[in-house]
């Protein structure tokens, strides 16, 4: 988890939509020009260019989601020799394909334009003729890549098609990361990006301990997948460990083992429901406690009350009264209400 001295999470958004048509491609070139050159042509400038990019940075990693029309990107030898970018860019093509990549040495058996992932070393030259696409990109510092990839220079230009091992999990994790990053705080954003980087590097790894790295990265990705599934279904009565592993197509014994530190998967679901109940007790003071309990899958109000007291050392009614007291004391200031709840030991969601 980042220390307090670490920089905060950074989020930015840019779109060419607000630019005059003849300025759109040039505006895009200006926006991404600190990393790569956009090669324009007169016809494309005249037609206009649709492009948007969301950038998030946390924990020393940068993640972008871009949607663009077809374009040509280039890092020339002259560019490489004059700027200081030395990290790796991993492009995950969730819509569209990698396009035609030139200016680098690749194996004759390497796949051409495919839906998949391509690794590009910003310390080496390349040219990409890319079709319209939606691409999720993670920029990983060179020192991190070198620690996981034996010969990281040889990683440049490698393509993993979407059917390669671990790539399915990379796609799923990156799609979820793109959805969730805008609302995550700095520590959670850094954790999500770190998990994505480790999963990427495990997919590309060729070191002797690659199998171990892959297992660790896969465990992180699958646990995140399970937790996201639970978060969106806390109010469904049939949310059970069996239902989860069947819905996600996972191995029951493996998933159960990975949740042992949380007391087991059933215990994790129960705790998340109790924390959600604690939030609802404060947010909906007119909602009957029994209705909150039944709405979160508890079979009876008494079962809910016993579980709640074991988790938080207070009854649901006592929690609600304490929350109402705090709300009255800090009315009119939502930030102060949140801080007061935290300082008085009310459970946080998440």
For 184-218, the pLDDT digits (tens) are 888 888 888 988 898 898 888 865 444 555 567 67
Taking only the tens place, the pLDDT of each residue in 48-65 is 999 999 999 998 999 999
Domain count, the chain: 2
- The answer to whether residues 223 and 291 belong to one domain is no
Domain-embedded: residue 214 = yes
CA–CA gap between residue 178 and residue 83 (Å, rounded): 28
Note whether 203 and 267 are same-domain residues: no
Angle between helical axes of 334-343 and 316-329 (0-180°, round to 10)? 130
Total-model pTM: 0.70
CA separation (Å) from 175 to 100, 119, 170, 191?
24, 18, 8, 15
Q: 61 and 206: one domain?
A: yes
Domain assignment present for residue 256? The answer is no
pLDDT recorded at residue 95 = 94
Angle at 217 between CA 215 and CA 221, to 5 degrees: 115
- Tell me which residue range forms the domain holding 338: 262-343
pLDDT value of residue 202: 87
N-terminal to C-terminal alpha carbon distance within the chain: 15
Same domain, 56 and 201: yes
Q: What is the pLDDT of residues 286-338, one digit of tens each?
A: 899 999 999 999 989 999 999 999 999 999 999 999 888 887 877 655 554 45
Assess if residue 242 is contained within a domain.
Answer: no
If asked whether residues 132 and 178 sit together in one domain, one would say yes
Is residue 344 predicted with pLDDT exceeding 50? no
């Amino acid at each position: 988890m980042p220390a307090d001295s670490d920089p905060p999470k950074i989020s930015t958004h840019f779109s060419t939509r607000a630019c005059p048509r003849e300025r759109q491609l040039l505006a895009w070139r200006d926006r991404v020009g600190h990393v790569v050159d956009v090669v324009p042509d007169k016809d494309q400038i005249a037609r206009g260019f649709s492009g948007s990019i969301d950038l998030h940075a946390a924990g020393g990693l940068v993640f972008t989601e871009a949607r663009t029309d077809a374009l040509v990107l280039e890092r020339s030898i002259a560019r490489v020799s004059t700027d200081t970018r030395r990290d790796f860019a991993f492009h995950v093509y969730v819509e569209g394909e990698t396009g035609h990549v030139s200016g680098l040495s690749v194996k004759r058996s390497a796949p051409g334009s495919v839906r998949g992932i391509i690794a590009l070393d910003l310390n080496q030259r390349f040219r990409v003729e890319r079709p319209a696409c939606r691409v999720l990109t993670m920029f990983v510092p060179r020192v991190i890549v070198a620690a996981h990839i034996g010969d990281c220079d040889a990683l440049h230009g490698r393509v993993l098609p979407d059917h390669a091992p671990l790539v399915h999990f990379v796609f799923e994790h990156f799609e979820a990361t793109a959805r969730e990053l805008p609302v995550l705080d700095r520590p959670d954003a850094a954790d999500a990006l770190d998990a994505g980087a480790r999963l990427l590097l495990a997919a590309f790894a060729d070191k002797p301990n690659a199998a171990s790295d892959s297992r660790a990265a896969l465990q992180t990705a699958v646990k995140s997948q399970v937790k996201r599934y639970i978060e969106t279904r806390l109010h469904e009565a049939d949310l059970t460990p069996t239902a989860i592993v069947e819905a996600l197509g996972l191995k029951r014994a493996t998933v159960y083992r990975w949740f042992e530190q949380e007391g087991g998967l059933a215990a994790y679901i129960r705790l998340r429901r109790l924390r959600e109940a604690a939030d609802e007790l404060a947010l909906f003071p007119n909602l009957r406690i029994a209705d909150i309990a039944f709405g979160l899958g508890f079979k009876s109000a008494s079962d809910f009350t016993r579980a709640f007291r074991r988790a938080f050392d207070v009854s649901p009614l006592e929690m609600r009264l304490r929350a109402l007291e705090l709300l009255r004391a800090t009315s009119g200031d939502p930030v102060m209400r949140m801080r007061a709840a935290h300082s008085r030991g009310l459970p946080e969601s998440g």
